[in-house]
């Protein structure tokens, strides 16, 4: 193997975790830092599906990979509390995690994030708390700053320019094959083309799309892993006026519900006021997601309803379980199914004629009218319907027969690496952070984990 280059720090992955690690490291003069990502530069991340065309099954996927990671084209919500978005609260303690989140937020604002923060004082929505208690729901209120899909990409592009000006070397379309370790100490990384990049410290931050790669690295190096659950459910789309009384206060409502039938946890996730339903690609399966622009609004709001599921024995592979459900939906629809709530409750398929009579116009035009009852397990359907009827008591109109349900939405949370609070692995000089490491589930905590790894390295170099 030929050594192509030598750096002080190598960062694998150019999503929020990798970017924030690079921002912190580049503040030290003379430190040689390089970033590698298998995806494209942000201006080259074009996706046919985002333009209303057929999915081109690009390799790698331009929505999930490239500069900015999946966050570059996400809804751009910054959840400013350790209560949501990852495990940093339990790893660091709530107070320390909050300080770190506030620091991350200030960086996003410095690069152009909107000034407004949703979610005021508890007194502002006491009536909402009373209604959710009566409905058997629990409202988790967290402050949220919304950047918007279009502005997320712009902010990530500014960070790219800033890092280049600071001397950070950024190598896009450069996949890394493996991490090189000898006698428990990291030596660098090997590119897929065979060249070796030497480094005494390596930060692996591949994001959700790179979780399988990271799992392989962990197995190769003998790193300890803990399985995270998989979340399976639907994306709900309905008129924005139905949810406005809540979204105008909170922007993203987070409700938790334990079903009467099975005592399973059901939760709302990724609320997109005036947004669009979109496709998401996870390896060889197509799932559904949503996003909102800051400056372009539709007449609909969408959000996910997710049922968390873990397994013990004899089966213990939550990701494979979620993938099998997604593949079944793909098989029946060629992609994603859409069904009216009234049709699901009546036990009949939504066909094109019934969909055309709906008062809710679907924003995902490529979704195929069908029957989610042929895809989702009975237990999940019962849980979702219970949750919808509970939400209807808080936001009357949620349970209209015209409400649209898209399926399936699956969140494949990565196997969680066992890390120190400084994001160190068991290998000397090797750090891991972000969604791919299984410790975060969103922009803010992923960014914060990158800061933790970088600051640990800077402290080592200083002392």
Query: Could you read off the pLDDT of 167-204 as tens digits, one per residue?
Result: 999 999 999 999 999 999 999 999 998 899 999 999 99
Q: Do 91 and 189 have their domain in common?
A: yes
Nearest to 71 by CA among 127, 14, 138, 21: 14
Q: Which residues, other chains included, contact 40 with Cβ-Cβ below 8 Å and sequence gap of 6+? A: 62, 65, 66, 67, 172, 173
DSSP string computed for 112-159: T--S--B---GGGGHHHHHHHHHTTEEE----EEE--HHHHHHHHHHH
Map residue 337 onto helix, strand or coil. Answer: strand
Please check whether residues 331 and 295 belong to one and the same domain: yes
Give the mean pLDDT of 347-356.
96
pLDDT for res 124: 57
User: Does residue 365 lie in a domain region?
Assistant: yes
Evaluated on CA atoms 169, 97, 446, 6, the torsion sign reads positive
CB atoms within 10 A of CB 115: 6
**Are 319 and 368 contained in the same domain?**
yes
Look at residue 132 and tell me if it is in a domain: no
pLDDT at 267 over 70: yes
Residue 126 lies in a domain: no
Domain count of the chain? Answer: 2
Together in a domain, 203 and 328 = no
CB 439 within 8 A of CB 87: yes
Per-chain mean pLDDT for the chain: 90
| The predicted structure's pLDDT at residue 4 | 72
Token pair for 419: 């890390």
Residue 87 tokens read as 């495990």
Cis peptide before 408 (omega within 30 of 0): yes
The pLDDT assigned to 281 comes to 83
End-to-end C-alpha distance for the chain, whole angstroms? 33
Boundary residue ending a domain (372, 395, 412):
412
Query: Is residue 439 in some structural domain?
Result: yes
Are 313 and 419 part of one and the same domain? no
Looking at the structure, do residues 335 and 377 belong to the same domain, yes or no? yes
Q: How far apart are CA 457 and CA 430, in angstroms?
A: 10
Res 233 pLDDT > 60: yes
**Whether residues 165 and 237 fall in one domain:** no
Q: Domain span at residue 180? A: 3-118+146-226+415-462
Residue 60: predicted pLDDT: 72
For the cut 90, the answer to whether the pLDDT of residue 132 exceeds it is no
Chain centroid offset of residue 440 CA: 9
We report the CATH number of the domain holding residue 39 as 3.50.50.60
- Do residue 171 and residue 234 come from a single domain? no
Does residue 166 belong to any structural domain of this protein? yes
Where is average pLDDT lowest: 273-282, 348-357, 418-427?
273-282
Q: How many helices (H) and strands (E) does the chain have?
A: 12, 21
Q: Are residues 96 and 10 in the same domain?
A: yes
- Please tell me the predicted confidence (pLDDT) of residue 415: 78
Same domain (yes/no): 91, 216: yes
Give the helix/strand (H/E) hosting 170.
Answer: strand 169-171
Quick one: DSSP state of residue 228?
P
Q: 378 or 132, which is more confident?
A: 378
pLDDT of residue 130: 72
Assigned domain for 454 exists: yes
Residue at 138 is within a domain: no
Same domain assignment for residues 243 and 213: no
Percent of the chain scored above 90 by pLDDT? 66
Residues 209 and 345 in one domain: no
Confidence (pTM): 0.84
Helix axes of 94-110 and 16-25: crossing angle, nearest 10 degrees: 80
Residue 135 lies in a domain: no
Residues linked to residue 77 through DSSP beta bridges, in sequence order: 146
């Amino acid at each position: 193997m030929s050594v192509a280059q030598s750096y002080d720090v190598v960062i694998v992955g150019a999503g929020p975790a990798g970017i924030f690690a690079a921002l912190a490291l580049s503040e030290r003069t003379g430190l040689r830092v390089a970033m590698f990502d298998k995806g494209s530069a942000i201006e080259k991340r074009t996706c046919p599906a985002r333009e209303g065309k057929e999915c081109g099954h690009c390799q790698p996927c331009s929505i999930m990979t490239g500069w900015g990671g999946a966050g570059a084209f996400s809804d751009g919500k910054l959840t400013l509390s350790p209560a949501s978005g990852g495990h940093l609260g339990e790893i660091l303690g709530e107070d320390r995690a909050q300080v770190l989140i506030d620091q991350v937020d200030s960086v996003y604002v410095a690069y152009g994030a909107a000034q407004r923060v949703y979610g005021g004082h508890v007194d502002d929505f006491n009536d909402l708390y009373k209604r959710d208690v009566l409905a058997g729901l629990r409202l988790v209120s967290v402050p949220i700053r919304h950047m918007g899909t279009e502005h997320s990409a712009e902010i990530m592009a500014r960070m790219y320019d800033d890092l280049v000006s600071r001397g950070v070397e950024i190598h896009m379309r450069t996949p890394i094959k493996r991490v090189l370790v000898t006698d428990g100490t990291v030596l660098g990384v090997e590119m897929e083309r065979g060249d070796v990049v030497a480094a005494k410290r390596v930060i692996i931050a591949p994001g959700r799309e790179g979780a399988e790669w990271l799992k392989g690295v962990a197995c190769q190096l003998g790193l300890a892993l803990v399985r995270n659950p998989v979340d399976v459910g639907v994306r709900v789309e309905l008129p924005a006026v139905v949810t406005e009384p809540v979204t105008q206060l909170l922007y993203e409502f987070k409700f938790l519900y334990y079903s009467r039938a099975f005592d399973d946890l059901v939760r709302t996730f990724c609320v997109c006021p005036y947004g669009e339903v979109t496709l998401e690609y996870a390896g060889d399966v197509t799932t559904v997601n949503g996003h909102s622009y800051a400056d372009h609004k539709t007449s609909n709001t969408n959000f996910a309803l997710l049922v968390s599921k873990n397994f013990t024995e004899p089966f213990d592979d939550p990701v494979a379980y979620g993938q099998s459900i997604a593949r079944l939906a793909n098989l029946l629809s060629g992609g994603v199914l859409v069904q009216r709530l009234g049709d699901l409750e009546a036990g009949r398929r939504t066909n094109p004629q019934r969909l055309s009579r709906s008062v809710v116009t679907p924003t995902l035009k490529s979704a195929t009218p069908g029957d989610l009852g042929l895809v989702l397990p009975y237990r999940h359907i019962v849980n979702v319907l219970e949750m919808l009827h509970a939400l209807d008591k808080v936001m009357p109109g949620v349970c209209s027969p015209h409400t649209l349900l898209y399926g399936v939405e699956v969140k494949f949370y990565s196997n969680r690496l066992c890390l120190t609070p400084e994001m160190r692995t068991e290998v000397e000089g090797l750090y891991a952070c972000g969604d791919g490491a299984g410790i975060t589930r969103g922009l803010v905590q992923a960014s914060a984990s990158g800061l933790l790894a970088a600051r640990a390295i800077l402290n080592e170099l200083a002392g």
